[in-house]
Structure 1
């Protein structure tokens, strides 16, 4: 039986891109998703199993019926504000369900796991460039839930020999360069798709939360990494584990950062649309600069991002936005329904 890669949360933004890259790399792909935030029509590469990580009988059946070589986890809830209002939901889904998955893996002797982690584990930054040694002081339940899983993974490696790689994202952005897949969140909270929704007419304006930061143009600087480059890091991490590599963790970003104003100006140039921007009050807890130091991933995984230029990231996202809309008319083909 040919071994497969299980992509949990593979109907979502990053997971669906990962399934495509795995399939194009010759892997047999199985996607497990409960479609609570993912989209059935995003699973174009691999076999979809609709189900939840809370269903231990389903997990046992998947591992019993298929020869799973490794598991990639993209199934966490990720809205910071929601995690503050509903922490129980986040600990149940992000922590308890992750443990269900890890325990099922152990029962079926699968010991390679790649975890989609986050820069939110670091909390308020103590330096503008954040490397893997930066203190971890998450300030919300979302970040704490991710840190808990990373700690769990270290213990599972020590006790049970389950090897893992945790990849900490800063700001995933862009869309499939071939236009097959893209970003669809409801509600949307990421800057680049919000700006492009203002360009396409899906929203009236884009808000700039503070223009008086200690940055060249006064707006916050953030690190945007193309979703396809994120997936390439996961593929390298998978190859590392398949070659019996040790557990590890890596920060993923472009290492430079772009300001909110730069993103808006780039989107205006790419789209040819005016894009109304309105400056509002700063949001509490927004640091001026938040950028990843990803030299370890480049050095130890051999990660070489292809799409570091902001214009290219926005161009790919704009092609996806245009496919989803006709300047204000939302395309209804993509939803959670069968």
Structure 2
């Protein structure tokens, strides 16, 4: 996924002279703490790829000014937990500009945000923020789970006339977490685009077991795809996995179709469940698919704690994992 991100930004900078890429530590040879912009500053110069101060309000807010003069900014917030100082600009400036100007001043910006818990990052480097972002009208939110999707969604986000926040799970960047090997894919060529708002079936159920009513669907995104894949090995052929890929706009047609296929659904997230996007989606499914459901819509997320623990054992205990998902699926299928 890091390679796909690097190559996509490289393609965009080469193809679009108005494109810029900036953020904390992305300039120079290092190219960010995750190396996803390595050598780009050397290749394109420090007027197009450059470092910023540790000032998220500036990083986010400046994209409105860049858009006003015809530049298309791609910026990076170093970790999801640090986006909060930039939230005022995201809500008050970027998200409202197109609507308040009757479409005459859309802000075209792509805000990349490494997200999620991995390897003991602790309370300031491990958070999940999608539910907060999803209540902001006027922005789009995408969340790729593999390298090909990273490339296709990133280019689509750059080309979109709206502000787009791209959440990238840092535990998937190099597929070092056991069970995430499928995040490595053959990389599509330059120009590859995945339309925003299109979910994908990451794993299909066995047709014969589906016909016998022995299956369910897991609706998820990001790391949840791989928790579900690993868990499903204990239930061979019984689990479809729907990867949302874009959280706003949401491909609710694909969600409804999957739920109606199986009659049983689990919504899986890395966030705590209380007041979350996952709970909202589960409630919507129960309302629109009630007659097709054979069981309540199950949900699974992290423990309802204020932050991710620094200790890796405590981190592991509070997060979902494949065993917790398998237990939930076993209960759901036995309903």
TM-score between both structures, scaled by the size of structure 1: 0.35
Relative contact order, higher structure (CA 8 A, sep 6+): 1
TM-score between both structures, scaled by the size of structure 2: 0.36
